[in-house]
Structure 1
Amino acid sequence: MRHPILIQTLILASLALPLQAKDRPFIDEADPQARDDLEETVWKEQATKLPELPKAENLVEFQVDDPNSRFRYFIDRSALQLGKDGVTRTLIVIRSASGAINTSFEGFHCGERRYKVYAYSGKKGLKAVKRAKWKRVMKSGYGNFRDPLYSHYLCDILTGLPYTPEQTIRAMQSNQSLQERPSFIDD
């Protein structure tokens, strides 16, 4: 044996560990006094009224990450609203290079990274979607305009909180993502 003193020390130290554990027993159950004063809150979506179709003077363009896109993307500044339920709702207008226009009224739930389409444009205005459901905002694929809208203009992806409509409009007008701004700049 090369290190008899080291081995003896390790054996003695390992014998002391169970003695220390005896003073602090492990209890495999929740502490009954731990934050039982907090009420469990259940998120409830507020009722939503469909806005009028957008007017050209109210459209604000936003940029998507695809420089080769054949589309231009806008929101209607007059319809942009942050609800009491924390959902940012807005009219989204997509214009193709040939001039075709699609309009939808959508909501974004920042903390959940989800969106919901409430209505699409029809011949006589917006037509409500039957049984509209919350869907995940995807980073790629069909509808990929939602990811840059969500993560650059509507939602703080670090905190899960929505930006104010004023912050969103300012960022779109200056073509500056709210995620790229230095954190020491306060609005």
Structure 2
Amino acid sequence: MDLKVIIRRHSNLLLCGVIVYLLSGTLLVTAIEVYAPEDALFENGTTGILKCSFKSKEVVSSGASVTWSFTPEGASDKTTSFFYYTGGNSYPGSLAQFQKRVVWAGDLNRNDASIQVSQMQFSDNGTYQCDVKNPPDIVGSASGIKVRVGMKELDSCSESLLEKFKEDILEEIRKELQKIKDEITEAVIQELQKNVATQAAE
């Protein structure tokens, strides 16, 4: 029988088969949800934990992976991957800024994809993206953390100095006001004494 005739007769069946195949392929790809705090503050020179967790409809497999990327503050067009984790192994990126400073701090079996960054520095200010894939859960968006590194001790010291400065200024103002008050009081008394003396002389 002619091949064209066979195809024509079974076109509906073939169409149904194609649809089922496509749908089955689509259903195999499910979404994964990644969570991270919106922002984090660290003191300069300390070790910081960048927290990240995820929710997957599939059991975590050996093919699960985590990618961390960094976007410097004020440079939204310079996003670079600096850490990759999969199969129990860590792979640092080529970004010199984070060399020998980042270690894995998570547990994929507990849906934890956190990392640890030592010696936090001002150049670490920026946005960190955590992206998790757990095949067939590969569809989903990375979650970002806005990191700020500051000098907490210096800030506290500055606040103390400012408070002391305010107290000193207020004390000086009180002294000046008291001095003015005393001068006015003395002037009034002298004026009254003059008036009394004048009246007595008359």
Whichever structure has more helix as a proportion of its residues is: 2
Higher RCO structure (Cα 8 Å, ≥6 apart): 2
TM over 0.5, shorter chain: no
TM-score, normalising length from structure 2?
0.28
- Larger Cα Rg: Structure 1 or Structure 2? 2
TM-score, normalising length from structure 1?
0.30
